[in-house]
């Protein structure tokens, strides 16, 4: 009997291990395939296609958009891009990367890019729009806000109230500039202002070059204020007043499409239960003002507040 029990126990262990291995393998495969990028464009055999790409919410990443743009650049059936903007702007680097990607796309593919502003295309959103061949806005669109902002919280008073001290050992005067546990020194404030001025100059230069406007003219408009689409048209910051449909028709006409163009859009990524269980849903959910905690506490942004 003892031998039979031992064999039974052995088979139970083997069977349990096999079941566990099978279950873990299924989970691993599900995670792998759920993490794979969906095809970045919808399929169509039409050669009269206009791709509609959207930038929605605050801009803190450029990778997904730039990959979509690259994919559409390889498709001969896609004759033009309409870039739909509904964003208050965002990070400086991410904004500049998208701007440069659009300019490179136009230069390498010779395909037209039309920017279409929705409710808001301000600061970084306007910066990106300047990379297009033509810019459309609704009369009531909020745009402009040409400028840079850096902000963070200072909790020095809270530390004093809690009788706590912030201890820093550093290698240079500016290594902990902007430390939220103490007030800025005058030297640090001047240091940050120089950084802001440099980033501001880059924004002004991009607008002046793209809109073919004198630098001084742009600077007069670039005091951080926003404009309605109607004002922006009068000031030369955009080209035309019109809806998304107007922008699509303009893209078709400029690229030589006769008749009604076929609109193609990137495939939406589908979230699975595993995405939520494993915490992978954050990147795919529309959280426009989410901030990456790994970023510096001081964020330099082309952002309308």
Which residues in the chain belong to E strands, given as ranges?
A: 49-56, 78-87, 89-91, 112-122, 134-137, 142-144, 149-151, 226-228, 240-241, 262-264, 299-303
Distance, C-alpha 215 to centroid of its chain? 27
Tell me if residue 283 falls in helix, strand or coil: coil
Element (H, E) at 233: helix 229-235
Structure tokens at 287: 């959280």
Q: Which of 116, 118, 123, 145 is catalytic?
A: 123
- All residues at 6 or more sequence positions from 196 whose CB lies less than 8 Å from its CB, including other chains: 148, 150, 300
Helices 63-73 and 92-109 cross at an angle (nearest 10°) of 0
Q: What is the distance between the alpha carbons of residues 172 and 182, in angstroms, rounded to a whole number?
A: 17
The H helix count followed by the E strand count for the chain is: 10, 11
* DSSP notation for 261-277: PEEE-PPPPPP-HHHHH
Q: Is 212 a catalytic residue?
A: no
Overall residue count recorded for the chain in this entry: 305
Tokens encoding 18: 């096999």
Catalytic residue among 119, 170, 175, 253: 175
Q: Provide the token pair at 122.
A: 């301000």
DSSP 242: -
Active site residue 175: yes
Nearest to 251 by CA among 89, 48, 112, 72: 112
Q: For residue 213, how many other CB atoms are within 10 A of its CB?
A: 17
Q: Which active-site residues does the annotation give?
A: 123, 175
């Amino acid at each position: 009997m003892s031998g039979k029990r031992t064999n039974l126990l052995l088979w139970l262990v083997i069977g349990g291990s096999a079941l566990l291995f099978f279950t873990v393998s299924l989970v691993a495969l599900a995670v792998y395939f759920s993490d794979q990028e969906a095809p970045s464009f919808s399929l169509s055999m039409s050669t009269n296609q206009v791709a509609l790409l959207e930038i929605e919410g605050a801009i803190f990443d450029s990778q997904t958009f730039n990959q979509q743009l690259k994919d559409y650049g390889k498709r001969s059936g896609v004759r033009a891009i309409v870039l739909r903007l509904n964003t208050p702007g965002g990070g400086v680097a991410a904004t500049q990367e998208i701007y440069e990607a659009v300019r490179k796309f136009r230069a390498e593919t010779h395909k037209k890019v039309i920017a279409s502003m929705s409710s808001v295309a301000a600061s970084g959103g306007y910066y990106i729009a300047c990379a297009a061949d033509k810019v459309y806005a609704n009369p009531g669109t909020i745009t402009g806000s040409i400028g840079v902002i850096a902000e963070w919280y200072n909790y020095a008073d809270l530390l004093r109230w809690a009788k706590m001290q912030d201890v820093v050992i550093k290698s240079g005067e500016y290594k902990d500039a902007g430390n939220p546990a103490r007030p800025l020194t005058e030297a640090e404030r001047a240091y940050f202002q120089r950084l802001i001025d440099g980033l501001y100059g880059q924004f002004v230069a991009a607008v002046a070059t793209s809109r073919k406007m004198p630098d001084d003219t742009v600077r007069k408009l670039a005091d951080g204020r926003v404009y309605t689409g109607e004002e922006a048209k009068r000031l030369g910051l955009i080209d035309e007043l019109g809806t998304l449909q107007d922008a699509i028709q303009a893209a078709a006409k400029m690229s030589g499409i006769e008749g009604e163009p076929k609109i193609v859009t990137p495939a939406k990524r589908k979230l699975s239960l595993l995405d939520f269980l494993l915490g992978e849903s954050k990147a795919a959910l529309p959280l426009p003002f989410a901030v990456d905690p790994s970023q510096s506490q001081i964020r330099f942004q082309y952002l309308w507040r």
